[in-house]
Amino acid sequence: MASPVQDHRVQVVQKWGFGMAPVKPDIQQKRHRAVAAVLSLLQNDRIESSPSLLEALSEVKGLYWRCHEQDQWDWFTVWQQLGRPGRKRCRRAVSALSRLRTAIKDGDDATAAKQLTLLIDADVQVDLAGLVGEQPREPQGAGYIYVLSTREQPRMLKIGYTERTVEERVREINRATGVVIPYGVRALWVVADAPSVEAELHARLAPYRVRKDREFFDLDFRDAFVLIQSHIDGLGSED
């Protein structure tokens, strides 16, 4: 009697890749409440300390940190909602929100007012308005360097650039014939002159290139990230 054949088929349940997970309604509602509270603070320029305001500042700081670290299953979704801020912009927002929260908690009005001014000057309220339903900001005069991969082949990285939105590019790739498992966004950078940055990165990544006519590279994501970030830091072109 023949032995039963084991079923090794891969079943793809999610239609989205890493970073592009939809946000659950209850979590989105919590984020909306936090953003509304911080928006009210920024727009009214009045500081009235309360546990709910401190919690809201922590929640909003966490959204920017999510976009800076790019390590959660919904980070790209949140990044879109915030108007696609660059990693440097996210880091500055995290710092100002953290200092603002501490100053409000400690009753340090002078520091709180300074951090409020920094956030307002940085147009953080424009970012937050996008998350609660208004039209999100589009970065002007910039392009994107992206790293895409699938869960099943995490070392096979697609590294390129686009001057359209990254989500358009990902949808285009995932619609291509032969793509069964959706690509997700492992990392991206908002940069000036994205075509030149991509060409320089491809030259540095040449030893890992799978085929000369394709922008696929076989290496660990962490190594790719360090190399790309180091190169972009040296150019000083990141938003």
d(CA 208, CA 217): 5
Say what the pLDDT of residue 135 is. Answer: 59
Q: What is the structure's pLDDT at 177?
A: 63
- In the block, tokens 């424009």 appear at 126
Overall residue count recorded for the chain in this entry:
239
Q: Residue 35: what pLDDT?
A: 95
Phi/psi for 156 (5° steps) reads -90, 95
Q: Give the Cα separation of 154 and 237 in Å (integer).
A: 27
User: How far, in Å, CA of 40 to CA of 233, rounded?
Assistant: 35
pLDDT at 6: 59
pLDDT tens for the chain, 239 residues long, are 555 555 555 555 557 889 999 999 999 999 999 999 999 999 886 788 899 999 999 999 999 999 999 999 999 999 999 988 889 999 999 999 999 999 999 999 999 999 999 999 988 988 898 888 765 566 566 799 999 999 888 999 999 999 988 999 999 988 886 677 889 999 999 998 999 999 999 999 999 999 988 899 999 999 999 999 999 999 887 87
> What integer pLDDT is reported at residue 213 of this predicted model?
84
Backbone φ and ψ of 33, nearest 5°:
-65, -40
Phi-psi map region of 177: left, alpha, beta (phi>0 left; psi -120 to 50 alpha) = beta
What is the pLDDT at residue 45? Answer: 66
Give the model's pLDDT for residue 196.
95
Return the H-helix or E-strand segment holding 125. Answer: helix 124-131
What pLDDT was estimated at residue 131?
84
